[in-house]
Chain A
Amino acid sequence: MIYEGKKKIWAEYQKEIPEDHYFYVRSCIRQSFFPASEATFLDITRNKLGKDIFETEHHTTCGGIAYHSDAIPQETAMTIIARQFALMKKYGYENYVCSCITSFGLYCETLETWREFPELQQKIAENLWKTCHLEFAKPKFLVHASDLIFKYRMQIAAKSKYKLVNKNTGEPLRVVEHIGCHYSKMFPSKGVGGAEYPYVLVGMIEAWGGQIVDYPERRHCCGFGFRQYFIKSNRGYSLANTHKKFESMEPFKPDMIITNCPGCPYFLDRWQYVIAETEGKTYGQDGHGIPVFTYEEVAGLVMGYDPWDLGLQTHQVSVEPLLDKIGIPYDPAKKYLGKNGKNLGQPEKPHCLK
């Protein structure tokens, strides 16, 4: 591996990310599965770093899941998106940051389509006016929430309490990064570092002390793939993709996985359980899985957030061995207590996966 070569490519895929003043939109999946990640994003950017990140309860889904599942036509999806952009304009913002990769991809696709087909943009603007009485607008800068954390990675590192380092050996942790397919594979120029060697998560890991693992199936999809997961008869295919990734990363003995997409952490995490229960195989140390994190969770961990406040108890693969490795203290007794101190109930112990 020639690091200089990668740097050359990264240098070619630089994207302008404004420092401050963003209109924030959430992710449907993340709100449900990783609510703490979005909360942490807002807490870090607003309270720890003092940025202006605006959010309104009036924003909706981007329509991406329905669009990619062939449930709604493109025009509908575009009108939904136009409404989101119009809200941004209405609240006086021109930088748009979204939490979801599917949304990010769809926004990029929509903006490119409008650029190529102005008549379609015109039509969507009319739709918007007819349906919502909102003024059509396009963001000046469109970024993904991970782009912002990437932008702030040094500031976060400066405020960090822990490093991604094995406290026993002093060696940097071996981290696998996984980028959502729709982040830069459709439009390599829209992602930090491009599509072949994306830098957005690598930059964070490097800034926070970890070591990146470059394994052969790094570019491969997590296995979500909308239709492949939603229909039960296709799930074996979804699972096979995840399985392929883990088989490929296994020889590199990664300590953790960091992701920037709503579906990826979910599937990389939960399918480890299903693979363990159907194939009898686990990929971490001593029968554990490889813990999977969102970038906000990792940012939260290095900044010293309580692991249970980051929602890590909702992960299928137990995070404790990794916390021990880094030396992050946690109270096992509080793992299944809610914010209000009430017991949330404890899940059953899996057969294979520790």
Chain B
Amino acid sequence: MIDFGFSVNPSSRINLDAADGEKFHRLAALEPDALKCMACGSCSASCSAAAFEDTSLRRALLSLQNGLSDDAAKLLSHCMLCGKCTMVCPRGINTRHLILSILKIYSL
């Protein structure tokens, strides 16, 4: 191996073929609301934790669907479960249970 001072940049591309569908199915079985997000962003806009750190349930769900579970866990790690997102979600998603379920399924 030779050090050229540069190497292949990692790809930022999402590969849906490699996404773990089984875990997401488990999540959807536990909290079917996982499928209902329409990406309006109300949750992140009202989020108490987002005022301090990068926190977004919308993006966390998206990351999970894209197979990037580490990103999702990070996006929810600052959540204080205050429930504002539940109050504002236009789809009536049970966000608190969804967050708890994500953290439980994907942090193992």
Residues of A within 8 A of B (CB): 232-233, 235-237, 239-240, 243-244, 274-275, 277-280, 351
Residue among B5, B7, B10 making CB contact with A232, cutoff 8 Å: B5
Q: Inside 8 A of B6's CB, which chain A residues have their CB?
A: 232-233, 235-236, 239
The CA of A6 and the CA of B6, in the complex, are separated in Å by: 39
Contact between A277 and B9, CB atoms less than 8 A apart? no
A280 to chain B: closest residue by CB? B1
* B1 → chain A closest CB, angstroms: 6
> Main SS of chain B's interface residues?
loop
Contact between B2 and A236, CB atoms less than 8 A apart? no
The CA of A205 and the CA of B51, in the complex, are separated in Å by: 60
Looking at B1, B8, B9, the one whose CB has the most chain A CB atoms below 10 A away is B8
Q: Which of B1-25 contact A (CB under 8 A)?
A: 1-2, 4-11
A277 to chain B: closest residue by CB? B2
Q: Inside 8 A of A232's CB, which chain B residues have their CB?
A: 5-6
Contact between A278 and B2, CB atoms less than 8 A apart? yes
Contact between A237 and B7, CB atoms less than 8 A apart? no
> Main SS of chain A's interface residues?
helix
Q: Inside 8 A of A274's CB, which chain B residues have their CB?
A: 4
The CA of A274 and the CA of B5, in the complex, are separated in Å by: 11
24 chain-A/chain-B pairs, Cβ below 8 angstroms: A232-B5, A232-B6, A233-B6, A235-B4, A235-B5, A235-B6, A236-B6, A239-B7, A239-B8, A239-B9, A240-B9, A240-B10, A240-B11, A275-B8, A277-B2, A277-B4, A278-B1, A278-B2, A278-B4, A278-B8, A279-B7, A279-B8, A280-B1, A351-B1
The CA of A278 and the CA of B9, in the complex, are separated in Å by: 12
Interface residues on B, range: 10 to 19
Q: Inside 8 A of A237's CB, which chain B residues have their CB?
A: 9
Q: Inside 8 A of B9's CB, which chain A residues have their CB?
A: 236-237, 239-240
Seed contacts A278-B7, A278-B8, A279-B7; 20 additional CB < 8 Å A-B pairs: A232-B5, A233-B6, A235-B5, A235-B6, A236-B9, A237-B9, A239-B6, A240-B8, A240-B10, A240-B11, A243-B8, A274-B4, A277-B2, A277-B4, A278-B1, A278-B2, A278-B4, A279-B8, A351-B1, A351-B2
Contact between B11 and A244, CB atoms less than 8 A apart? yes
Q: Inside 8 A of A243's CB, which chain B residues have their CB?
A: 8
Q: Inside 8 A of B1's CB, which chain A residues have their CB?
A: 277-278, 280, 351
The CA of A243 and the CA of B9, in the complex, are separated in Å by: 9
Q: Inside 8 A of A244's CB, which chain B residues have their CB?
A: 11
The CA of A280 and the CA of B1, in the complex, are separated in Å by: 7
The CA of A277 and the CA of B1, in the complex, are separated in Å by: 5
Q: Inside 8 A of B8's CB, which chain A residues have their CB?
A: 236, 239-240, 243, 275, 278-279
The CA of A235 and the CA of B5, in the complex, are separated in Å by: 9
Q: Inside 8 A of B11's CB, which chain A residues have their CB?
A: 240, 244
The CA of A196 and the CA of B8, in the complex, are separated in Å by: 27
* A345 → chain B closest CB, angstroms: 21
Q: B55-98 toward A: CB 8 Å interface, digit per residue (1/0)?
A: 00000000000000000000000000000000000000000000
The CA of A62 and the CA of B106, in the complex, are separated in Å by: 56
* B50 → chain A closest CB, angstroms: 31
Q: Inside 8 A of B2's CB, which chain A residues have their CB?
A: 277-278, 351
* B13 → chain A closest CB, angstroms: 9
Q: Inside 8 A of A239's CB, which chain B residues have their CB?
A: 6-9
The CA of A235 and the CA of B4, in the complex, are separated in Å by: 10
The CA of A243 and the CA of B1, in the complex, are separated in Å by: 17
* B36 → chain A closest CB, angstroms: 33
The CA of A237 and the CA of B9, in the complex, are separated in Å by: 5
In the A-B complex, list the 3 residue pairs whose CB atoms are closest, starting with the nearest: A240-B9, A236-B6, A235-B6
The CA of A237 and the CA of B1, in the complex, are separated in Å by: 19
* A93 → chain B closest CB, angstroms: 44
Q: Inside 8 A of B7's CB, which chain A residues have their CB?
A: 236, 239, 278-279
Q: Inside 8 A of A275's CB, which chain B residues have their CB?
A: 8
